Amino acid sequence: MALALSGCNRRQSTFATFGEEAAAIDHLALVMTIGAVAVAIGVAALMIWAMRARPGALSLRGGERLILIAGGLLPVLLLLVLLGYSLPVMRPRAVAPADMRIDVTGEQFWWRVGYAPPGGNPVTTANEIRVPVGRTVLFRLRGADVIHSFWIPGLAGKMDMIPGRTNELVVRAVRPGLFRGQCTEFCGLSHALMAFDVVAMEPDAFERWLASQRQPAAATAPATAHVGAALFSRYGCGGCHTVRGTGQDGAIGPDLTHVGGRRTIAAGALPNGEEAIAHFIRYPARTKPGVRMPAFPHMSEADAHAIARYLGDLR
């Protein structure tokens, strides 16, 4: 199945698997598709035969036998086989205490991400998820405001994020690469624009990256060196956003401590870059209708760009 579609972009496709769970389901899908095509052709052929058969081609007894065998017995057998084959696929992988835990909370319309490595300090980021290849990862999924759903097609099936509940999803990535995930439970105006990048990394690289994320922002971009840092504070951005190490510690919006290192901004809605950030700061709802972030239409172009440059340097 994947072969026929190899020409397409496959960052968010169930055919381009990079996790064991998604691969098992892809295999299941292939088997079921073959079966479904066979049954469809069989029924169609039978129907054409029935239309063209001479009158009385089927006796009363023959007809009743056809109904009971083709309509009753055959489906029972086929479905029993299918259930026996498919149900084991849903058994979740076992999780050990030493496995990585990642907390993801869906919020209108972005993702709050927290890494809780066994024995290490937790790290908070947003709108980007990185997983180590070959290691079991437990996602703990929550919904902050409304119901969202967490879906990384290449890695595993989806799981809802429901306010008041914590759902778990266990995965294991098997090859490194850059992928994409998206919200799949309708969650309001910008539901379509609630995506995230997924980076599967070799374990060593992942550990290095996690260590760098744990650092405060000051280590990469000293606030004193930036006019943007002062503007960030002056416009009150810190009321909602955190930039660790600079005293800006709002917890309403995404953590921006290392925002410059992400591939996209605004939950996958825009490519990361000075121009995009400056535009988003002034008119966020033009990119994402219904966004909670207020617009800053009176902020000067220069100020917006200064802040954008500062944020871009937070790697």
Partner 1 sequence: MGVWYTLTAFCFMLFAGVLALIMRTQLAVPDNDLVSASTYNQLFTLHGSAMMFLFAVPMFEAVSIVILPQLLGARDLPFPRLSAFGYWSFLLGGVFVLGSIFFNVAPDGGWFMYPPLTTRTDLSGLGADIWMLGLSFIEVSSVAAAVELIVGVLKCRPPGMRLNLMPLYAWYILVVAVMILFAFPPLIAGDLLFEMERLLGWSFFYASRGGDPLLWQHLFWIFGHPEGYIIFLPSIALFAMLIPTFSQRHLLGYPYIVLAAVGTAFLSFGLWVHHMFATGLPKISLAFFSAASQAVVIPTGVQIFAFIATLAAGRVIFSTPLLFATGSLAIFVIGGLTGVMVAIVPFDWQAHDTYFVVAHLHYVLMGGTLMPLFAGLYYYWPLVTGKKLSDRLGRTAFWVLFAGANLTFFPMHLSGLMGMPRRVFTYPAELGLGGLNLASTIGAYLFAAGVLIVCIDLALSPTRPKGRRNPWNAGTLEWLAMPESEHWGIRSIPLIETRYPIWDQPDFMRKVDEGRFFLPDAEEGRRETIITTVLDARPVAVVRLGTPSFLPMFAAFALGGVFILTTYHLYWPALASGALTLALVLRWLWTTAEIPEKPCKPIGHGIELPLYISGTQAPGWWAMFITMMADATAFSGLVFGYYFFWTVHEAFPPPGMTGPGSHWPMAALALTAASWAATVGARAANRRGLVTTARLLLSGGALSAIVSIGAGLAGPWLSGLDPAVHSYGAIVWVIACWTTAHAAVGAIGQLYALARSLAGRATPTHDADIRNVTLYQHFLLFTALVTWLTLGFFPGVA
Q: Where in 136-155 is the site for partner 1 (CB under 8 A)?
A: 141, 145-147, 149, 151, 153
Tell me the closest approach of the beta carbon of residue 117 to partner 1, in angstroms: 24
Nearer to partner 1, 38 or 302 (CB): 38
Residue in 19, 101, 156, 214 binding partner 1, rule: CB under 8 A: 156
Tell me the closest approach of the beta carbon of residue 277 to partner 1, in angstroms: 18
Distance CA 37, CA 15 (A): 18
Residue in 76, 204, 224, 297 binding partner 1, rule: CB under 8 A: 76
- Do the Cβ atoms of 33 and 15 come closer than 8 Å? no
Counting Cβ atoms within 10 Å, is residue 157 exposed (0-12), middle (13-18) or buried (19+)? middle
| Residues 207-236 contacting partner 1, CB under 8 A | none
Tell me the closest approach of the beta carbon of residue 3 to partner 1, in angstroms: 13
| Residues 115-134 contacting partner 1, CB under 8 A | none
Binding residues with partner 1: total (CB under 8 A): 90
Tokens of 223: 């606030």
Is 14 one of the binding residues for partner 1 (CB under 8 A)? yes
Distance CA 244, CA 247 (A): 7
Nearer to partner 1, 19 or 228 (CB): 19
Identify the CA nearest to 266 among candidates 146, 102, 105, 126.
126
Tokens of 203: 């374990």
SS3 assignment, position 141 = strand
Is 162 one of the binding residues for partner 1 (CB under 8 A)? yes
Distance CA 174, CA 49 (A): 48
Is 261 one of the binding residues for partner 1 (CB under 8 A)? no
Stretch that binds partner 1, among 62-70, 94-102, 129-137, 219-227 (CB under 8 A): 62-70
Tell me the closest approach of the beta carbon of residue 276 to partner 1, in angstroms: 14
- Do the Cβ atoms of 266 and 280 come closer than 8 Å? yes
Is 46 one of the binding residues for partner 1 (CB under 8 A)? yes
Stretch that binds partner 1, among 31-39, 93-101, 230-238, 296-304 (CB under 8 A): 31-39
Distance CA 202, CA 104 (A): 21
Residue in 20, 23, 24, 174 binding partner 1, rule: CB under 8 A: 24
Stretch that binds partner 1, among 33-41, 122-130, 209-217, 225-233 (CB under 8 A): 33-41
- Do the Cβ atoms of 304 and 281 come closer than 8 Å? yes
| Residues 79-118 contacting partner 1, CB under 8 A | 79, 82-83, 86-87, 89-92, 108
| Cis ω for the linkage preceding 280 (within 30 of 0) | no
- Do the Cβ atoms of 311 and 256 come closer than 8 Å? yes
Stretch that binds partner 1, among 77-85, 125-133, 234-242, 248-256 (CB under 8 A): 77-85
- Do the Cβ atoms of 185 and 147 come closer than 8 Å? yes
| Residues 263-292 contacting partner 1, CB under 8 A | 268, 289-290
Identify the CA nearest to 175 among candidates 282, 16, 39, 283.
16
SS3 assignment, position 283 = coil
